[in-house]
Structure 1
Amino acid sequence: MINFISHFQKILKKNGLFSQNIITFVMCLLTIKTKEYMKKIKWMYVLLATFLLTSCGTLMQPYQMDSKMKDIELGMTKKKVISILGKDFESAGARMTSEGSIETISYKTASMTENTEGYYLLSFKDGKLVEWFKEKYPVHNHQH
């Protein structure tokens, strides 16, 4: 910035336009522009950080499922279960029985300590949780 100012002063002197008022005016403009630029950069960093944090949260969801399942109880409504576990589930099946309709949904789960992946399968009879269990399998790292 200082090199720019001294260079700018030389140009003004060379063209006979050197004046302390002009220099002061230009310095004010540069300061304003620099502050605006810094604000824009700050907001870009805030947006980038927000994006990265939300992305990591989504990626970590399967690893947090075990702790969320501790809050699940048989007899809960499907709506209540989804409010605890989140909307990131898949429909795993549905059927009608003589006792009512049964719907099964699944949530992906993973464990870094056990090096496993799997699913929690939750079954609802007429909208109430009647059964849940966990299926897990080892993660295979394909290295050649």
Structure 2
Amino acid sequence: MTKIFIAFSFILVVFFSCSVQQAIMKTDSNMKKIQLGMSKEEVINTMGKQYRIAGADRLNDNSIMELITYENAYNEEYQLWFKNEVLMKWNRIYKYNHDHDRSRRDTIR
């Protein structure tokens, strides 16, 4: 019984990790379909529901600006800005690893 449980657990872990990796890799190919002027709903239908709400603000003209992000497999993040749920701007940034840099500086001294 224990061997079956271990085998089943291993299969679940492998399956889950592969499906998450596939979803992250799809982010890059899906971004090619994104165009300014798309609605937030269209973007989410294209990119998937694995986004993170990173911020929101009410502007002086009473409109709403919202920022959502998607991560890819290369330690990059796509930032998408919506004004009143219409895509106004997007950007790809590299997510910097501060711990890695600190350990690198310590060894260079």
TM over 0.5: yes
Q: Report the Cα distance in structure 1 between the residues aligned to 2:92 and 2:23, rounded to whole angstroms.
A: 16
Q: Which amino acid aligns with 1:109?
A: N
| Number of equivalences | 94
Which structure has the larger Rg over C-alpha atoms? 1
Structure richer in helix, relative to its length: 1
**Structure 2 contact 68–80 (Cα < 8 Å) conserved:** yes
TM-score normalized by structure 2?
0.69
- 1:1-144 matches, cutoff 5 A: 48=11, 52-53=14-15, 55-97=17-59, 98=61, 100-111=63-74, 117-137=75-95, 140=100
TM-score normalized by structure 1?
0.54
TM-aligned CA deviation for residue 99 of structure 1: 5.8
The percent of aligned pairs where both chains have the same amino acid is 33
Superposed CA RMSD in Å reads 2.7
Q: Report the Cα distance in structure 1 between the residues aligned to 2:17 and 2:63, rounded to whole angstroms.
A: 40
Equivalent position SS for 2:73: strand
**Residue number in structure 2 paired with 1:35:** none
Higher relative contact order (CA 8 A, sep 6+): 2
Q: Any gaps of 5 or more consecutive residues in structure 2?
A: 1-7, 104-109
Q: Per-residue CA shift, 1:70-96, capped at 9, x if unaligned?
A: 000111111110111111111010001
Q: Any gaps of 5 or more consecutive residues in structure 1?
A: 1-44, 112-116
